[in-house]
Amino acid sequence: MKIIFVQLYCIVQIKKKTWFILDIYKTFNMSYEVFNFLRLMSLFWQAIINSTITHNMTFTKTSQKFGQWADSRANTVYGLGFATEQQLQQFAERFKEVKEAARLAREKSQDKMELSTAALNIAAPQDLSDELQSPPVMCVNGPEDKLFRSQSADITLSSEKERIKKMLSEGSICEMNLEAELFSLQDSNAKLVAALHEANANVEQWKKQLAAYQEETDRLRDQVADLEAHGAQGPSDMLKDELTQSLEELENLLKAKDEARALDIPAVCVNVFQELEMRNVELERRVQNVEQNLTSALEDRERAGNEVQRVVQILDVKIFDLNDLRQSLVKLINK
């Protein structure tokens, strides 16, 4: 007896294309009984998977941790998922051992049946001859020959039936295996189609983000042009150079984004987008600082202009007073 942890799956009855998990990992006992089959029981000896493993069954590994087999008697395909690949290999080896033991036991039972049939064939003519109390030779050989031929025909017919049953069983198992493989391929195809749709949606989203970043770049370029147009009123050339450098970095990042999208490398695209967003935020912050500094400089210039105007007015008044004083002095001198 052997204990192993397995994961139970069940095929969807409506579509019959996908498997879903029945329960969490459970512990099972694999026991080989005297009737040449293997039963999977829980720790409390409840038949969770009531499948009889015979000599003509095959355990198929469909993935690293998942396997399945077809039970023609129950008309069911059973699937088991394991925690590790090693447990799956152990179960497959145990399955093979039980299958081989069932085959040997079946061959032994067939040999015993053939021996018993041959013994009956030998004993039947003797009993018949005793009951007939030594009839003539012609009468004895005729019925014995007919009886032997009838028994031989029955044996041949039964063996032919067994062969036909075996062929039908193997054909049913192959059909179930092919059907299970078809379901697995259809499931994989559906997953690939879903992944393709998701990738297309991501590409469309990246295109929209790229267009938004390009618009933002144009807006920032216009702001830099406005700042350069008001260069005489700007705070300093250093800030303009810094803005120009940041704008060039942003354009380089956009070019890198275009190249990454042309190469179809999603990871690079994501990194470029993240870096581009960070640069965009930094550039917006710098533009805001420049705008604030420009506003402060304009206010200082306006205050300085007002102060100059006030001084000019005062000087005009003083000059007017001095002119009056000069005229008064001239009049006094002339008198």
282-296 per-position pLDDT tens digit: 878 877 887 888 888
Q: State whether 154 and 261 are in the same domain.
A: no
Tell me the CATH number at 72: 2.30.29.30
The percent of residues in the chain predicted with pLDDT above 70, rounded, is 59
* 29 and 95 part of one domain: yes
Same domain, 260 and 169: no
| Residue at 330 is within a domain | no
Please indicate whether residue 109 or residue 257 has the higher confidence score (pLDDT): 109
Rounded to two decimals, the pTM is 0.30
Q: Are residues 7 and 103 in the same domain?
A: yes
Residue 183 pLDDT > 50: yes
Tell me what pLDDT residue 144 has: 46
Which of 322 and 39 is assigned the larger pLDDT? Answer: 322
Confidence class of residue 240 from pLDDT cuts 50, 70 and 90?
low
Looking at the fold, whether 166 and 22 belong to one and the same domain comes out as: yes
State the average pLDDT over residues 28-36.
45
108 and 178 share one domain: yes
State the average pLDDT over residues 116-127: 48
Query: Which residue has better confidence, 266 or 146?
Result: 266
Q: Are residues 141 and 277 in the same domain?
A: no
Is the pLDDT confidence value at 196 over 60? yes
Among 93-102, 136-145, 203-212, 220-229, the least confident range = 136-145
Would you say residue 149 lies in a domain? yes
Q: How confident is the model at residue 50 (pLDDT cuts 50, 70, 90)?
A: low
Query: Is residue 268 included in any domain, yes or no?
Result: yes
Give the model's pLDDT for residue 1.
43
Is the distance from CB of 95 to CB of 82 less than 8 angstroms?
no
pLDDT for 135 beyond 70: no
Considering only residues 204 and 246, tell me which one the structure prediction assigns the higher pLDDT. Answer: 204
- What pLDDT does residue 137 have? 38
- Domain annotation covers residue 41: yes
Here the CATH number for the domain that contains residue 296 is 1.20.58
Question: What pLDDT does residue 136 have?
Answer: 41
| Among candidate residues 130, 160, 190, the one where a domain is terminated | 190
pLDDT at 246 over 50: yes
Give the mean pLDDT of the chain.
Answer: 68
Examine the fold and report which residue of 135, 170, 190 is the final residue of a domain before the chain moves on: 190
**pLDDT reading at 2 higher than 50:** no
* Per-residue pLDDT, 46: 52
- In a domain? residue 79: yes
Report the C-alpha gap between 79 and 169 in whole angstroms: 19
Split into its structural domains, the chain has a count of 2
Grade residue 140 by pLDDT with cuts at 50, 70 and 90.
very low
Q: List C-alpha distances in Å: 56 to 60, 61, 95, 308.
A: 13, 17, 12, 109
**Which residue range(s) make up the domain with 290?**
230-304
Q: How far apart are the first and last CA of the chain?
A: 146
Closest to 181 (Cα-Cα) out of 62, 92, 20, 12 = 62
Helix (H) / strand (E) containing 297: helix 266-334
Sequence-separated contacts (24+) of 163-172 with Cβ below 8 Å: 166/56, 169/56, 169/72, 170/56, 172/70, 172/72
- 251 within some domain: yes
The answer, yes or no, to whether residue 299 has pLDDT greater than 60, is yes
β-bridge partners, 28: 4, 42
Q: What pLDDT digit, counting tens, does each position of 58-75 carry?
A: 888 888 888 888 877 777
Mark whether 105 and 11 lie in a shared domain.
Answer: yes
325, part of any domain: no
Please indicate, yes or no, if residue 328 is contained in any of the structural domains. no
Amino acid letter, 96: K
Residue 243 has pLDDT above 80, yes or no: no
Same domain, 272 and 140: no
In this structure, are 46 and 142 located in the same domain?
A: yes
Where is the domain boundary, 133, 166, 190? 190
Judgement on whether residues 40 and 131 belong to the same structural domain of the protein: yes
Average pLDDT over residues 86-104: 85
Q: Are residues 15 and 141 in the same domain?
A: yes
